[in-house]
């Protein structure tokens, strides 16, 4: 093509006078550029060396008829083809259209003064239609969905490559077969029923079905030819993996619900009984037994804490829907969790550095588990008798950062990158490895980020500035401000 909007036409006719008159007239159209050939063989030679967009050919020619030329052009070049003839009989028209010619005109229709516009319009139309069809076929053949065109009685008129692959054959081999030839009788009847319903209501119909272990989502769309819809396009998508994931999610949710009930009721109730009994015998135990009683109470407290962690963990991952978020007041959450930690751990000293800004963040009640777990983590992994945590809050226009610095032994460098993984814990860790995983999971679901780093080593030398108690590690929780 000479330019993006230009159509290169090859005019084939054994009449030199007709070629000259028609080519001169068509050349007056800016959108058309005309090449000329006096016979079918000459036309094929031109097609071999030049880029042509449409062929316009006479029907009656020596050496090769217009229909014979069309068959060669269609097979070798796939170009739009307009057939011209001096014969006006129905048989010629029927042969032309039946062979697949894009358009058919009688010479007498275009030979009259001013009627060459009709031919120019037909050329533009068939080129535009062929280009649109090629784009559509490219899209259809490259989609993973199975697409076929089916008649009212269930015969396949056309199919794409994905449909052929699905039935271990080719798209060409599917043409002419009935749905019952390739599908189980019940499935074929169901798809034909839905296709006919789409034709009856003149609108797309969606439905699902199964073939063996495979599940499909289908759309039946009526296809119009003229004023009536006599066939439907069947678009089929394999959703087997999706169904499998849905079933797995449903099974997991049911199992988590059982675990949640077990943890929240049975285990929690038994632990509360143990704590109450330990308190009841406290006055009846001598000094030697008090140490063991204290250990029993500490262990019960730890188990109770684990049930809370497990409950929060189940709630955070047990739903197949997105978490609901609200505005959470950060100072209230921090103060509440600090108070709980103070009551739980007698030796723990928590310092909030500066004033916590009165800011709300994006989250929900699970946010308390984030800070509760980080405070518990600082105590459980401390190797001395004076665990300390310093909390600092900073913020900018969009985010709030809460850092918790402890004075523990720090985290081995080899564990820093995996510390938030499920079940990750150090060799001397007294925990389950699920607490920090829960922290990461919840913060991530809130659209935030959590990180950890060891406190930098203190400088040495007479002029060095030493920060007191600057050991351990720092967890930083970044949350989005609630707008």
Q: Where residue 465 sits, what CATH number does that domain have?
A: 3.30.565.10
User: Collapsing DSSP states into helix, strand and coil, what is residue 51?
Assistant: coil
Note the pTM of the prediction, 2 decimals: 0.44
Residues 6+ apart with CB under 8 A from 78: none
* Residue that is last in its domain, among 206, 238, 270: 238
Calpha distance 429→472 (Å, rounded): 15
Considering only CA atoms, which of 342, 269, 263 is closest in space to residue 309? 263
Domain membership of residue 1 (yes or no) is: no
* 264 and 221 within one domain: no
Calpha distance 367→479 (Å, rounded): 10
Instruction: Give the tens place of pLDDT for each residue, 69-88.
Output: 999 999 999 899 999 887 55
Runs of H (alpha helix) within 282-366: 287-317, 330-344
* 257 and 185 within one domain: no
Residue linked to tokens 């319009």: 121
User: Collapsing DSSP states into helix, strand and coil, what is residue 180?
Assistant: helix
User: Collapsing DSSP states into helix, strand and coil, what is residue 56?
Assistant: strand
* 201 and 109 within one domain: no
Residue linked to tokens 């969009």: 398
* Residue that is last in its domain, among 204, 238, 272: 238
Domain membership of residue 89 (yes or no) is: yes
For the beta carbon of residue 66, count every other beta carbon within 10 angstroms: 26
Orientation angle between helical segments 116-142 and 16-26, nearest 10 degrees: 70
* 409 and 421 within one domain: yes
Orientation angle between helical segments 435-445 and 367-380, nearest 10 degrees: 150
Q: Which residues pair with 159 in a beta bridge?
A: 148
Kindly tell me the burial class for residue 318, based on how many C-beta atoms sit within 10 Å of its own C-beta (0-12, 13-18, 19 or more).
middle
* 341 and 467 within one domain: yes
Which 8-state DSSP code applies to residue 31? T
Which 8-state DSSP code applies to residue 102? S
* 97 and 83 within one domain: yes
* 460 and 342 within one domain: yes
Which 8-state DSSP code applies to residue 414? G
Calpha distance 162→174 (Å, rounded): 11
* Cα pseudo-dihedral 387, 390, 391, 394, rounded to 10: -150
- 81 membership: H or E segment, kind and range: strand 81-85
Q: Over its length of 483 residues, how does the chain's per-residue pLDDT go in tens digits?
A: 444 468 999 999 998 888 888 888 887 787 888 999 999 999 999 999 999 999 999 988 988 999 999 999 999 998 999 998 875 566 766 777 777 888 888 877 776 645 678 888 889 888 888 877 777 677 777 788 999 999 999 999 889 999 999 999 998 899 999 999 999 999 999 999 999 999 999 999 999 999 989 999 999 999 875 445 588 999 999 999 998 888 887 777 777 777 677 666 677 778 878 888 888 888 888 887 887 887 787 778 767 766 776 676 676 665 555 556 789 999 999 999 998 888 778 889 999 998 899 999 999 888 888 998 899 889 888 878 889 999 999 999 999 999 999 998 888 888 877 787 754 444 444 444 567 888 888 898 899 999 999 987 544 444 444 445 457 899 999 999 987
Domain membership of residue 256 (yes or no) is: yes
* 261 and 218 within one domain: no
Q: Which two tokens stand for residue 129?
A: 């239609």
Q: Which two tokens stand for residue 203?
A: 């609108």
* 328 and 447 within one domain: yes
* Residue that is last in its domain, among 104, 139, 174: 139
* 133 and 152 within one domain: no
User: What is the percentage of the chain residues whose pLDDT exceeds 90?
Assistant: 38
Domain range for 472: 322-483
* 351 and 482 within one domain: yes
**CATH number for the domain that contains residue 208:** 3.30.450.20
Phi, psi of 181 (to 5 degrees): -75, -25
Domain membership of residue 127 (yes or no) is: yes
**CATH number for the domain that contains residue 62:** 3.40.50.2300
Residues 6+ apart with CB under 8 A from 386: 347, 349, 407
User: Collapsing DSSP states into helix, strand and coil, what is residue 69?
Assistant: helix
Domain membership of residue 245 (yes or no) is: no
pLDDT at 464: 40
Domain count, the chain: 4
pLDDT at 432: 44
* 444 and 373 within one domain: yes
């Amino acid at each position: 093509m000479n330019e993006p909007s230009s159509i290169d036409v090859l005019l084939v006719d054994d009449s030199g006078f007709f070629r000259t008159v028609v080519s001169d007239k068509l050349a007056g159209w800016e959108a058309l550029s005309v090449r000329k050939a006096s016979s079918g063989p000459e036309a094929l030679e031109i097609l071999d060396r030049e880029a042509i967009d449409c062929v316009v050919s006479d029907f009656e020619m020596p050496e090769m008829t217009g229909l014979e030329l069309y068959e060669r052009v269609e097979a070798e070049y796939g170009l739009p083809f307009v057939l011209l003839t001096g014969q006006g009989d129905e048989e010629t028209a029927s042969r032309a259209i039946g062979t697949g010619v894009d358009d058919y005109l009688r010479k007498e229709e275009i030979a009259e003064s001013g009627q060459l516009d009709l031919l120019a319009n037909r050329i533009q139309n068939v080129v535009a239609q062929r280009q649109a069809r090629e784009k559509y076929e490219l899209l259809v053949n490259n989609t993973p969905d199975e697409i076929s065109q089916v008649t009212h009685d269930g015969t396949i008129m056309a199919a794409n490559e994905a449909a052929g692959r699905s039935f271990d054959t080719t798209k060409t081999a599917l043409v002419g077969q009935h749905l019952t030839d390739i599908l189980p009788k019940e499935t074929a009847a169901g798809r034909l029923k839905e296709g006919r319903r789409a034709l009856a209501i003149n609108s797309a119909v969606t439905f699902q079905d199964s073939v063996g272990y495979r599940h499909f989502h289908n759309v039946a769309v009526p296809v119009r030819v003229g004023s009536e819809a006599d066939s439907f396009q069947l678009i089929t998508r394999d959703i087997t993996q999706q169904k499998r994931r849905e079933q797995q999610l449903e099974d997991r949710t049911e199992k988590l619900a059982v675990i949640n009930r077990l943890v929240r009721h049975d285990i929690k109730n038994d632990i509360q009984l143990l704590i109450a009994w330990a308190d009841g015998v406290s006055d009846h135990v001598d000094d030697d037994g008090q140490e063991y009683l204290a250990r029993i109470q500490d262990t019960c407290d730890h188990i109770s804490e684990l049930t809370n962690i497990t409950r929060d963990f189940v709630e955070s991952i047990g739903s197949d829907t997105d978490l609901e978020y609200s505005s959470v007041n950060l100072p209230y959450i921090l103060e509440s969790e600090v108070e709980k930690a103070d009551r739980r751990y007698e030796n723990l000293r928590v310092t909030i550095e500066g004033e916590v800004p009165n800011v709300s963040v994006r989250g929900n009640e699970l946010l308390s588990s984030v800070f509760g777990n980080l405070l518990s983590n600082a105590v459980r992994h401390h190797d001395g008798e004076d665990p300390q945590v310093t909390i600092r809050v900073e913020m900018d226009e969009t985010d709030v950062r809460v850092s918790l610095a402890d004075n523990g032994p720090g985290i081995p460098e080899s564990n820093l990158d995996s510390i938030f993984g499920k079940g990750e814990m150090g060799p001397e860790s007294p925990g389950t490895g699920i607490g920090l995983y829960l922290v990461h999971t919840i913060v991530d679901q809130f659209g935030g980020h959590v990180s950890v780093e060891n406190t930098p080593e203190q400088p040495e030398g007479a002029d060095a500035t030493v920060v007191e108690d600057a050991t351990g590690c720092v967890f930083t929780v970044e949350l989005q401000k609630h707008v």
